[in-house]
Chains A and B, each alone.
Chain A
């Protein structure tokens, strides 16, 4: 019995705000390999974010730049010299395109995830709490969206939203909204399931007995308890949204090279190069995608493991520690039932 009670994760809401932040609190309770994975993920993601923010300083040229004071860039030049990672068939500098691409990726992630979180959470709360025919219809719609291959939905949305043309904002919005449509059912389902579980909890019933209105119960009692898994889905979806964006770009529904740098588009253009032995145009945008997705996934998976007390690793209670401090924490924690006033 003691085992069960002590295994419950106790998020101490009175700890300092900084230490309660999702990733920081996870870092503090991780050990060993799990901490290593989390750190690697954080470093990869951190470099991605920094690159996105400092792109104008880091990139040697603009993302659409084809010439400088010395004249036009050579096309398909091997890495080295003025162009560290070489140039593409269109004469773009690969390094600059990769660096500017981080900005596009970051913007798409933010817009897509913010839109889908808002819509998904609100729909999930209402659908789970109110139930009835509204719930049934929403679930059917969500299931129907699941039935489509997500890339197909994204393509359809891209056509509907931007009509195929692509400015920077139009392209990013088209990509973000199409990703949003794919992700809303995920948020919707998670929040709805949590809401249905919480609806039967005694603290919600006790609010009902007190006479609280439905809106008050949803916002004050259920919302804050149902959204605790969001950081996890957020990181996992962020990596998925990059893949979707790259897929769209690769298929030609992305953003024109003159509006923004986009890794998927560059990969598409590099397709023809591979047969002629030109590896640098495809390798580096590809690596950038792998880098970002790997970083975000590692963070997400680590958070997932650390949230579950059964998967979370702990420092083993060594005999040495037990012998060194016998009884120091004796009777602490959940066992102090009797120390009632």
Chain B
């Protein structure tokens, strides 16, 4: 195995070799609405041992470009131009030849590790599948099952899975999310390809796990000289890993520069906007200079005392404690930021406050109403004082109703205004979230994601609620849209003065909005305090690890942070 890995010195000899060369690539999709030019004119190249990041917002064509490299486009797509991998043009290849190149010369790491692995086969089998598929074609003769397994074990060891001899027989569900992504990377590495295309490899992962995977990818480049094409929308990840960056916008390359230059002195306006929109921990903090908690003399809207929420287990298994002994209060006019990774129970708390989940222990008082053993009939009158903004703006509107009808819905249920009154109020609300009043007649799919989330905010505000729950309201949005929505959110909160529970996994976003921040970890509230103090001087181990893992969008600063936190992250 070690010979065909190639030692570091071998790789350095070929260091200037070009692994991937994309020349004037165009990709067009046939859709119901006519042709869509997803990629208009993209040229780029990747040298051996280099990490090239392609960044851009949704619809910029970055994923389509990546899929073209492996010939994975759907059949409605037509591409022209050239994609050369080690001198072979992928676009004009027959399916048979393409299959030989996949895995051997170029491999792919997908976004969602839990769906990229087949749940009914062991991970060892899945890694060996690639090895055995290529055995005959490469003139190497057949590979025995035993040898394939040995090579799978080797690949698992390379990506840092402990005890690979044993783990090779595990099924995907026996690994955690981060380990699954390691397995996917191991499968990509199995044939030692010169180039790996990683499409948002850390987007589905928590920040602490993301830091580990980024470390692993960096190792691959340093130890084995593997080139990586990294597709991402996260500027922090780019700053952490990339050598060179290509910025894409609406199918075109806007700017190409080394990562240091790009972050220090972006030349194009678009790049400058994009970088300015990225939330940066510690800048623009809502709790700047605060020394004590605000709004404590006002009415307490939510009071949780030793709150427990359990999900019933399946037959024979104990119930799962999603929230375990959490206590906090939320007063009128205050923004309480709730941070945590997936599975920490933050969404469960938000849903319990809105009466969508039942609490099972302790006490949760919402607007003075005890939520334990909630009865819908008695709680309903209070609902008009609670607004809720959902994560996915596309799914939280009924596709059959106009935006105006959706926004008027809470009014129709609680205050029954006349049609003219309702129309007037909808217009006012749309204006307060900076949308033209004429949008009331549009259907949800006719709005962009950011516009829909503004409309969602308008709906939540339509009855002037005292309490607003925002569950990851910006995580489905692009950064530039997110920046605008956050700004709007802050202005509206100051204007209306409602109390707000702001739930997010993104520390930097929470810091922009909330003065008081609580950190959840495995259902427990491990730390709460004034935002700038929690972020600047975390007390709990987990909070420290969380903040250390968050990559900042600045290569020099990130490199420094990485060194500082190496011990803490245990890498």
A209 lies within 8 A of B355 (CB): yes
Q: B395 near A330 (CB under 8 angstroms)?
A: no
Q: Give residues of chain B (54-71) contacting chain A, Cβ–Cβ below 8 Å.
A: 57-64, 67
| Chain B residue at smallest Cβ distance from A225 | B400
> Are A209 and B59 in contact (CB-based, < 8 A)?
no
Q: Is B191 an interface residue (CB 8 A)?
A: no
Cα-based distance from A188 to B506 in the complex (angstroms): 43
In the bound complex, residues from chain A placing their C-beta under 8 Å from that of B63 are 1-3
B28 and A322 contacting across the interface, CB-CB below 8 Å:
yes
Q: Within the assembled complex, what's the spacing in Å between the Cα atoms of A338 and B57?
A: 9
Chain A residue at minimal CB-CB distance from B32: A29
Within 8 Å by CB of B30, from A225, A317, A332, lies A317
CB nearest neighbor in A for B469: A209
Using CB atoms, name the residue of chain B closest to A6: B31
Bound-complex Cα distance A222 to B434 (A): 30
Is A199 in the interface zone, CB < 8 Å from B? no
In the bound complex, residues from chain A placing their C-beta under 8 Å from that of B73 are 3
Write out the residue numbers on chain B whose beta carbons fall within 8 Å of the beta carbon of A1. 58-59, 62-64
Once the chains bind, are B80 and A337 in contact (CB under 8 Å)? no
Q: Closest chain A residue to B231 by CB distance? A: A1
B399-445 interface (Cβ within 8 A of A) = 399-401, 409-410, 413-414, 434-436, 443, 445
Residues from chain B with a CB closer than 8 A to the CB of A14 are 443
Stretch at the interface among B117-125, B304-312, B447-455: B447-455
- A301-341 CB mask vs B (1 if < 8 Å, else 0) is 00000000100001111110110001101111111111111
Closest 9 CB pairs of A and B: A335-B59, A211-B383, A202-B396, A317-B30, A1-B63, A209-B388, A202-B395, A210-B410, A224-B400
Task: Decide yes or no: A2 and B78 within 8 Å by CB, A10-B445, A13-B443 being known contacts.
Answer: no
Q: Hey, which chain A residues are within 8 Å of B383, CB to CB?
A: 209-211
A-B contact count (CB 8 A): 169
Does B74 sit at the interface, judged by CB under 8 A? Answer: yes
> Does A82 sit within 8 A of B, measured CB to CB?
no
Point out the residues of chain B lying under 8 angstroms from A212, CB to CB: 409, 413
B58 close to A203 (CB less than 8 A): no
Which segment of B13-21, B35-43, B332-340 sits at the interface? B35-43
User: Is B263's beta carbon under 8 Å from chain A?
Assistant: no
Contact yes or no, A211 B40, CB < 8 A: no
Tell me whether chain A's interface is mostly helix, strand or loop, or mixed. helix
Known A-B contacts A201-B395, A205-B356, A224-B400; A322 and B35 likewise in contact (beta carbons under 8 Å):
yes
Contacts of B413 in A (CB 8 A): 210-213, 216
Contact present for B397 and A203 (CB under 8 Å): yes
Q: A208 within 8 Å of B by Cβ?
A: yes
Chain A residues 187 to 208 lying within 8 A of chain B, measured CB to CB, are 201-203, 205-208
* Contacting residue for B356 out of A7, A10, A209, A318, CB 8 A: A209
For the complex, is A221 an interface residue (Cβ under 8 Å from B)? yes
Does B34 lie at the interface of the complex (its beta carbon under 8 Å from any beta carbon of A)? yes
Contact B398 A221 (CB under 8 A): yes
Q: Identify the stretch in B166-174, B280-288, B477-485, B555-563 within 8 Å (CB) of chain A at 4 or more residues.
A: B477-485
Q: Taking the nearest CB of chain A, how far is it from the CB of B466, in angstroms?
A: 14
Tell me, in angstroms, the Cα distance from A322 to B64 when the chains sit together: 17
Q: Which residues of B lie under 8 Å from residue A314 when comparing CB positions?
A: 30-32, 76
Q: A314 vs B76: C-alpha distance in the bound complex, in angstroms?
A: 8
| B-facing residues in A68-105 (Cβ within 8 Å) | none
Taking the complex as formed, is A132 at the interface, i.e. its CB lies under 8 A from any CB of chain B?
A: no
Quick check: is A16 within 8 A (CB to CB) of the other chain?
Answer: no
Task: Kindly state the separation between the CA atoms of A326 and B36 in the bound complex, as whole angstroms.
Answer: 10
The CA-CA distance from A7 to B401 in the complex, in Å, is 22
A5 and B38 CA atoms in complex are apart in Å by: 11
B354 at the interface (CB under 8 A from A): yes
Total count of chain B residues near the partner, CB < 8 A: 67
**In-complex Cβ contact of A5 among B34, B59, B434 (8 A):** B59
Q: How far is the CB of B60 from chain A (nearest CB, A)?
A: 8
Rounded to whole Å, the gap between the CB of B499 and the closest CB of chain A is 16
Q: Does A9 belong to the interface (CB within 8 Å)?
A: yes
Could you tell me if B396 and A206 are in contact, using CB atoms closer than 8 angstroms?
yes
Most buried by B among A314, A315, A319: A314
Contact B396 A333 (CB under 8 A): no
For the complex, is B390 an interface residue (Cβ under 8 Å from A)? yes
User: Measured between C-beta atoms, what is the minimum distance from A30 to chain B in Å?
Assistant: 11
B81: min CB distance to chain A, Å: 12
Tell me which of A7, A216, A225, A330 contacts B250 (CB under 8 A): A330
CB-defined contacts of B414 to chain A, threshold 8 Å:
211
B30 to A337, Cβ gap below 8 A?
A: no
Is B102's CB within 8 Å of the partner chain A? no
Residue of A nearest to B249 (CB): A338
> Is residue B77 within 8 Å, beta carbon to beta carbon, of the partner chain?
yes
Which residues of chain B come closer than 8 Å to A210, judged between CB atoms? Answer: 383, 409-410, 413, 459
| 18 A-B interface contacts by CB (under 8 A) | A1-B58, A3-B67, A3-B76, A5-B58, A6-B31, A6-B38, A7-B74, A10-B32, A206-B390, A225-B399, A314-B32, A329-B35, A329-B36, A335-B250, A337-B448, A338-B249, A338-B480, A339-B448
Known: A5-B59, A337-B478. A317 touches B251 (CB 8 A): no
Q: Which of B310-338 contact A (CB under 8 A)?
A: none
Contacts of A329 on B, CB cut-off 8 Å? 33-37
Q: Are A211 and B30 in contact (CB under 8 A)?
A: no
Q: B132: CB under 8 A from chain A?
A: no
A9 to B, closest residue via Cβ:
B32
Question: A207 contacts which chain B residues (CB < 8 A)?
Answer: 398, 409
CB proximity of A3 to chain B, nearest CB, Å: 5
In the complex, what distance in Å separates the CA atom of A326 from the CA atom of B40?
A: 9
Contacts of A338 in B (CB 8 A): 57, 249-250, 478, 480-481
B47 within 8 A of A: no
Contact status of A341 and B29, CB under 8 A, knowing A203-B395, A208-B356, A210-B410: no
